[in-house]
Chain A
């Protein structure tokens, strides 16, 4: 997994363009969910790596997002689901950048296809070096959000 600081930065930028701050928060929470669920399954329920596979697939993310959206009040739920799902998709897209030696970092289309995909651009351990870039992205997101709020 990429660290959740990298995932926060990747979701925070699009979230800065969302007017409703609750939906923006849900978009970011959505990007945390795949790792929170997979680590929960691994550390708490002691499940195998293969059992956790759906946490990083489009269908799995949709199911997790739907379940999570039901915790939000009704009038916010449809948009909340879309935000959580978008966050999850951003998470998978960021994870696709990882280099897993050609074996793939996400079985994106499971259960329709077991094929695993990766772009192989960064060693999963080296994401810690992205922290300075993430800080710049977070600063940019904060600036955009502040400017939009002043304009309103």
Chain B
């Protein structure tokens, strides 16, 4: 009988394959990020056709008239007999609304369609009560969560750009 020793299965290294090997990892990362950027660019074009940004209702109304959009948390500037005006990056936008009117200064979300330049006909209006403190809390809590979590797990990794940026400490 031959004198053979076999390395324990748990101690055997498995080849990670082309996708997950160290070979040319910066190139593979660049390719992944390039593909992601292409996807983002394509989404920007295609989804702008399906659901344009509200500002496009002022710039190219003939192209977007009739399109349904969702506008999230915009401040109400004025209230009129047939609706209200909301704040956008390019100035006030009028919203015709059959729903109960919000008050000036409130934040509202609107689902509506473009009818005229700077003019939306609302199909749904939702008042975002407590927008400022809820949004602030949301961002504050999120930033604190990420920082605290990374601080807690930092000991499981160490910074080593030469062989993959994060080398485990085990």
Residues of A within 8 A of B (CB): 1, 3-5, 8, 21-22, 25, 28-29, 32, 35-36, 41, 47-55, 57, 59-60, 63-64, 66-67, 69-78, 81, 100-103, 107, 110-111, 114, 123-128, 131
- How many A-B residue pairs have C-beta atoms within 8 angstroms? Tell me: 160
Checking A51, A103, A124, A126 against B44 with a beta-carbon cut-off of 8 angstroms, the contacting residue is: A51
Checking B20, B43, B50, B68 against A74 with a beta-carbon cut-off of 8 angstroms, the contacting residue is: B20
Q: How would residues 130 to 170 of chain B score, 1 for a CB under 8 Å from any chain A CB and 0 otherwise? A: 11001101110111111001100100110010011111101
Given contacts A60-B39, A73-B167, 5 further A-B pairs with CB under 8 A are A3-B139, A66-B32, A71-B165, A125-B138, A128-B141
Q: Which 6 A-B pairs have the closest CB atoms?
A: A4-B142, A103-B70, A71-B165, A51-B44, A53-B43, A25-B153
How many residues of chain B are within 8 Å of chain A by beta carbon? 61
Q: Is B100 an interface residue (CB 8 A)?
A: no
Q: Would you give the shortest CB distance from B34 to chain A, in whole angstroms?
A: 10
Across the interface, do B16 and A41 meet the contact criterion of CB distance under 8 Å? no
Across the interface, do A48 and B21 meet the contact criterion of CB distance under 8 Å? no
Checking A25, A28, A73, A101 against B109 with a beta-carbon cut-off of 8 angstroms, the contacting residue is: A101
Instruction: Supply 28 A–B pairs (Cβ within 8 Å), ascending by A.
Output: A1-B138, A3-B141, A3-B142, A4-B145, A25-B157, A29-B149, A32-B149, A51-B41, A52-B40, A53-B44, A60-B40, A63-B32, A69-B20, A70-B25, A71-B166, A72-B164, A72-B166, A73-B163, A74-B164, A75-B13, A101-B124, A103-B51, A107-B47, A110-B47, A125-B128, A125-B138, A128-B138, A131-B141
Q: Is B53 an interface residue (CB 8 A)?
A: yes
Closest residue on chain B to residue A110 by CB atoms? B43
The CA-CA distance from A54 to B33 in the complex, in Å, is 12
Residues of B within 8 A of A (CB): 13, 16-17, 19-22, 25, 28-29, 32-33, 35-36, 39-44, 46-48, 50-51, 53, 68, 70, 72-73, 109, 111, 124, 126, 128, 130-131, 134-135, 137-139, 141-146, 149-150, 153, 156-157, 160, 163-168, 170
Q: Would you give the shortest CB distance from A47 to chain B, in whole angstroms?
A: 7
Contact status of A5 and B141, CB under 8 A, knowing A103-B70, A114-B46, A114-B50: yes
